[in-house]
Structure 1
């Protein structure tokens, strides 16, 4: 494969076939990576939550973000902000685990704000209030560079994984 060109599908859209690590970082071609989540999967909300929680618990928030993104794109308009916000929380944890404290904290807070309108309703059993508290607390620790799971500015994504269910 020509490594100087981006992978494209038959219609010319970018399709990155490069292997990735557990935090979604690209690896050199030919390096074994973590299996990517298939794109465009339509799942029932309970299955979305279950799969995303499995990935979060495994320390793979980037992959959980892809599951939430599918729900955001395929779900009802009334829930679009919920799924988008959850995807942002997962990406915030991804950035924090990669050592990007500024981006991690910013996305954690943005995700918390996006799901704020769902506080108290716990759609699909998702504990929105608890997730908002988790995101704000983690964002503060990430910015401060503190925390039991911090390693050179990074956090352990599996240890810091939130509980999605109320």
Structure 2
């Protein structure tokens, strides 16, 4: 569906919200209309924490951190208030890996560090080092180490090879 009332065409979803319908590659970059893309993650899916972690890990392992970010974002938006900081930080880690894999080293490193800080803050506030089996300490180390690597070693890195392990 398009919106032409503003004088320009905009893709819309079934509810009329602006949503780019262009296909996307594995790192979430828009491709030309008609190109073969990868399946997009449905938005607004409510999953259990265990389902969220399993689905996100599968996407990370497949080199699709942008799509893992969308899974974490669903948990962030639909989960209990006390866990929103956890899911937001995990989404930032996935987006940081996305940017690093796209070759945006500065943005990638910044988001990886922001996500690591979010995990540290959330863990400290809740005294929960392994919520839903997620090893936050190892993830913080992974993120800070990868941020340093990204800053020192442009260009883009392989997302699947550099994906984190959410469970020990």
TM-score (norm 2): 0.90
What secondary structure sits across from 1:160 in the alignment?
Answer: coil
**Distance between the aligned counterparts of 1:61 and 1:104, measured in 2?**
12
| Residue in 1 that maps onto 2:159 | 157
| Residue in 1 that maps onto 2:147 | 139
**Distance between the aligned counterparts of 1:74 and 1:96, measured in 2?**
27
TM-score (norm 1): 0.91
Q: Quick check: 1:96 aligned with 2:134? A: no
**Distance between the aligned counterparts of 1:11 and 1:157, measured in 2?**
33
What secondary structure sits across from 2:160 in the alignment?
Answer: helix
What secondary structure sits across from 2:17 in the alignment?
Answer: coil
Let me know the Cα RMSD of the aligned residues: 1.6
How many residue pairs match? The answer is: 159
List alignment gaps of at least 5 residues for structure 2: 3-7
**Distance between the aligned counterparts of 1:51 and 1:9, measured in 2?**
24
Q: Which runs of 4+ in 1 moved over 2 A?
A: 9-13
Contact 2:59 2:68 in 1 (8 A): yes
Give how far 1:10 is off. 5.5
